[in-house]
Amino acid sequence: MKLEGAKVVVVGMARSGVAAVELLREYGAIVRAVDQKPVEGSEVGLQTESAFADADLIVLSPGVPADHADLSAARQRGVKIIGDLELASWFLKGEIIGITGANGKTTTTALTGHILKASGIAAQVGGNIGTPPASMVATSRADQLNVLELSSFQLETTESFRAHIGAALNVTPDHLDRHYTIENYAEAKARLFVNQTPGDFAVLNHDDAITRAYASRTKATAVWFSSTHEVSPGAYLEDSRILLNAQPLMEAHEVPLRGTHNIENTMAAAAMAHLAGATHAQIRSAVMTFPGVEHRLEFVRERNGVSWYNDSKATNVDAALKAVAAFPGGLWIILGGKDKNSDYRPLAAPLREKAHAALLIGAAAEKIRAQLSGEVRMIACRTLGAAVQEARARAASGDTVLLAPACASFDQFDNYEHRGREFKRLVGEL
């Protein structure tokens, strides 16, 4: 689409929206920025149906639902509606590595970028992690890879977007307040693979039925990873070793991240890095120096024999389950926040086995209490600060206090980063 002189409305003025506005103006578009909460004295207008009346193109930030009622009239007129990822992909130089999944995509994206850079392979990292795709256009080069973490919100509004290497780590119920059904959620993730060509690669979790089925949705070559059995081509766990294309890569204990799910993330990253040109030796060396990701099973401190961990990015039930599985027991787990139409009952058995109690915070506390009643001791705390104080008073040496909320953060915090930083501040002040 020719952008010069086109009237474009960008919806949602968080980081991604601001980056889209800047990119569009650089290519000569006449841009109107709108938001549900316009900033007084700024050029941002109010998001209403009339704001789209003369639009030639509408660009949605990831936080704006594609089925928003304000867009219906424009859609009926045939106005093209895309997301910021689709827009950025029109101009990004260099091949794209795209990584999606309900859980693990931030760690896997950061680890893939770390391996590539440590192996001397030019790459920049962004997407749903850190730098918005539109902000990466200016620093993109034909000889440099773009490693992108991609959410369902970004993928659902793509049309021509194509990743040379696409990875789906897992698909479990998440964002059902937005996608309504697991089928819709899985379909949004599948957008990563539909435009791939026979020269591209789809790195897929063979242990997950939904991601395994994506192989039939793409023309790309399927490359697998599995923590339960041998796969080819790809990476798998055999006893205590990780093998890549049937050749030993490293010992599982050499991965500096807790939990089987992080072994899976490592195998996915290794497979992608190998496809991009990294050797087995380079991958092993880089994995062993990976510092981890903030707010992902992040060790905060030990105090009086009690370990404190920040997994604020565990914003859904499956992520919280993976966090619990990474510890042998003795847990005081902080649960709650903004509900995403989630079912918390899968937490019952592992918490009954491993947790002293669940410390409940936020708007979802009563729903969690109702669904886990009789399964685990629950303590109403309401706020994160109260939960930290409760855990400090009750935890004994050898116990672990784990923030793994299984909920979004928007009831009491700006985002999961804000929640995680506040947790670390509170723990640091004990």
Question: Which has the closest alpha carbon to 44: 9, 73, 16?
Answer: 9
Q: Is the peptide bond before 233 cis (omega within 30 degrees of 0)?
A: yes
Q: Which residue matches tokens 């496809």?
A: 275
- The strand pair at 378-382 and 355-361 is best described as parallel
| 77 residue type, one letter | R
What's the pLDDT tens digit per position in 299-354?
A: 999 999 999 999 999 999 999 999 999 999 999 999 999 999 999 999 999 999 99
What's the pLDDT tens digit per position in 137-186?
A: 999 999 999 999 999 999 999 999 999 999 999 998 666 666 568 888 99
- The strand pair at 247-251 and 241-244 is best described as antiparallel
| pTM for the structure as a whole | 0.85
Domain 298-428, CATH? 3.90.190.20
Q: Estimate the crossing angle of helix 105-118 against helix 280-288, to 10 degrees.
A: 120
Strand, coil or helix: 99: strand
Pair 162, 93: CB distance under 8 Å: no
β-strand partners of 83: 60
Average pLDDT over residues 78-100: 97
Does 38 score more than 80 pLDDT? no
Chain centroid to CA 410: 16
φ, ψ for residue 247, nearest 5 deg: -110, 135
All structural domains of the chain with their residue ranges: 7-83, 92-288, 298-428
Burial class (CB in 10 A: 0-12, 13-18, 19+), 384: buried
Average pLDDT over residues 88-96: 98
Residue 289 DSSP class: T
Mean pLDDT of the chain: 95
Distance CA 263, CA 253 (A): 9
pLDDT value, residue 103:
86
10 Å Cβ neighbour count for 93?
A: 14
Range 392-399, long-range pairs (CB < 8 A, 24+ positions): 392/303, 392/430, 394/332, 394/356, 394/357, 395/306, 395/332, 395/356, 396/305, 396/306, 397/304, 397/305, 397/306, 398/305, 398/306, 398/330, 399/305, 399/306, 399/307, 399/330, 399/331, 399/332, 399/356
Structure-token pair, residue 267: 């195998």
Report the catalytic residues: 105, 128, 175
pLDDT value, residue 210:
95
Pair 361, 381: CB distance under 8 Å: yes
Pair 51, 34: CB distance under 8 Å: yes
What's the pLDDT tens digit per position in 102-151?
A: 889 999 999 999 999 999 999 999 998 889 999 999 999 999 999 999 99
φ, ψ for residue 122, nearest 5 deg: -65, 130
Q: Which residue matches tokens 């059995």?
A: 229
Pick one of 1.10.4080.10, 3.40.1190.10, 3.40.50.300, 3.40.50.720 as the CATH number of 92-288: 3.40.1190.10
Pick one of 3.40.630.30, 3.40.50.2300, 3.40.50.2000, 3.40.50.720 as the CATH number of 7-83: 3.40.50.720
Element housing 355 (H / E)? strand 355-361
Helix segments in 214-288, DSSP class H: 260-275, 280-288
pLDDT value, residue 180:
67
pLDDT value, residue 179:
59
Element housing 333 (H / E)? strand 331-336
